[in-house]
């Protein structure tokens, strides 16, 4: 666990603020913005202080394909 971590990206442009990702994230990594954006949507956002486990629950449930997940690994020197 030490040499890899996961990055979650909310593609805010596609997000509709349904909050499903927030509900389904087992880690509490995501939350809904208090302030509506210009479209009037309170989009999802990522908490910096919580670790993502890359379980993909959020991306799987998101109806708007507004989440991207990347695994980041330190290079292995062989």
Partner 1 sequence: MQPNEQAAPAATTDQEHRLIIAGFGGQGVLTIAKLLCTTAMSEGKNVTYLPSYGAEVRGGTANCQVVVSSGVIYSPLVEQADSLIILNQLSCDRFVVRLKPGGLLVLNSSAVALDDASQTGARQVLRLPAADTAARIGNVKVTNSVMLGAFVRASGLVAEEDCLAALREHWSRRRAEVIDPNVTAFRRGVELAAEA
Partner 2 sequence: MRSGNAGNGMGKKTTTKRTESEVKRVLYERPRALLDVHTHYCAGCGHGTMHRLLAEVLEELGVLEQAIGVAPVGCAVLAYDYVDIDWTEAAHGRAPAVATGLKRVHPDKVVFTYQGDGDLASIGMAETIHAANRGENITVIFINNAIYGMTQGQMAPTTLIGQKTKTTPRGRDPETTGYPLKVCELLDQLVAPVLLARTTVVTPKHVRQTKALLKKAFQCQMENVGYSLIEVLSPCPTYWHMTPMEAYHFIEQTVTDSFPLGVIRDVKDRA
> What residues make contact with ligand SF4 under the rule CB under 6 A?
6, 8, 10, 15-21, 25, 27, 29-30, 43-44, 52-58, 62, 64, 66-67, 69
Minimum Å distance from CB 77 to ligand SF4? 28
Q: Is 55 exposed, middle or buried (0-12, 13-18, 19+ CB in 10 A)?
A: middle
- Identify which of residues 38 and 76 has a Cβ nearer to ligand SF4 in the complex: 38
Residues in the chain: 78
Out of partner 2, partner 1, ligand SF4, none, what residue 36 binds, judged by CB under 5 to 8 A for its kind, is partner 1
């Amino acid at each position: 666990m030490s040499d890899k971590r996961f990055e979650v990206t909310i593609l805010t442009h596609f997000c509709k603020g349904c909050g499903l990702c927030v509900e389904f994230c087992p880690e509490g990594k995501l939350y809904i913005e208090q302030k509506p954006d210009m479209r009037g949507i309170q989009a999802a956002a990522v908490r910096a202080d919580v670790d993502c486990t890359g379980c993909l629950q959020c991306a799987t449930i998101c109806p708007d394909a507004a989440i991207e997940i990347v695994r980041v690994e330190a290079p292995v020197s062989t």
